[in-house]
Copies of this chain bind each other. A is one copy, B any other.
Amino acid sequence: MIDAAGLRVMKAIADEGSFTSAANALGFTQPAISQMVRRLEQRTGTVLVERYGRQVRLTEAGQVLARHAVGVLAALDAAEEEITAIAGLRAGRVRLQAFPSSSATLVPKALAILRSRHPDITMTFTEAEPPQSLAALRAGDCDVAVIFATKDVDAGELVEDLSLLVTRHLLDDELRLATPKDHPLAQTGTASLSDFASEDWIAGCPRCRAHLVGLADKAGFRPTVSFEIEDYVAQLGLVTAGLGVALVPDIILNAAKHDDVATLSLSPVSQRQILAVTTPDLLRVPAVAAALDALCAAAGADPSTSPAELAASPA
Contacts and interface: CB of A to CB of B under 8 A. Distances in A.
Chain copies in the assembled complex: 2
B2 A92 contact: no
Contacts of A92: 60
A25 interface: no
Given A44-B87, A50-B279, A281-B47, A79 B65 contact: yes
A64 to B, nearest CB: 5
Contacts of A65: 79, 83
Nearest to A76: B2
Interface in A279-301: 279, 281-282, 284-287
**Which size bracket describes the interface of A in this complex?**
35 or more
Given A3-B3, A46-B285, A285-B47, A52 B279 contact: yes
Contacts of A7: 79
A159 to B, nearest CB: 20
A51 to B, nearest CB: 6
A279 B93 CA distance: 57
Contacts of A53: 164
Interface in A42-62: 44-47, 49-53, 57, 59-61
A78 interface: yes
A38 interface: no
Interface string A73-84: 001101110111
A312 interface: no
B59 A82 contact: no
Contacts of A75: 68, 71-72, 75
Given A3-B5, A4-B4, A72-B75, A52 B281 contact: yes
A184 interface: no
Nearest to A138: B52
Contacts of A5: 3
B164 A285 contact: no
Contacts of A284: 47
A61 B287 CA distance: 11
A256 interface: no
Given A53-B164, A61-B285, 20 more contacts: A2-B76, A3-B3, A3-B5, A4-B4, A45-B87, A46-B86, A46-B87, A46-B286, A47-B282, A49-B281, A52-B138, A59-B285, A60-B86, A60-B92, A61-B87, A64-B82, A65-B83, A68-B82, A71-B75, A75-B75
9 cross-chain pairs, A with B, having the tightest CB-CB distances, nearest first: A68-B79, A50-B281, A57-B140, A46-B87, A64-B82, A72-B75, A47-B284, A61-B86, A44-B83
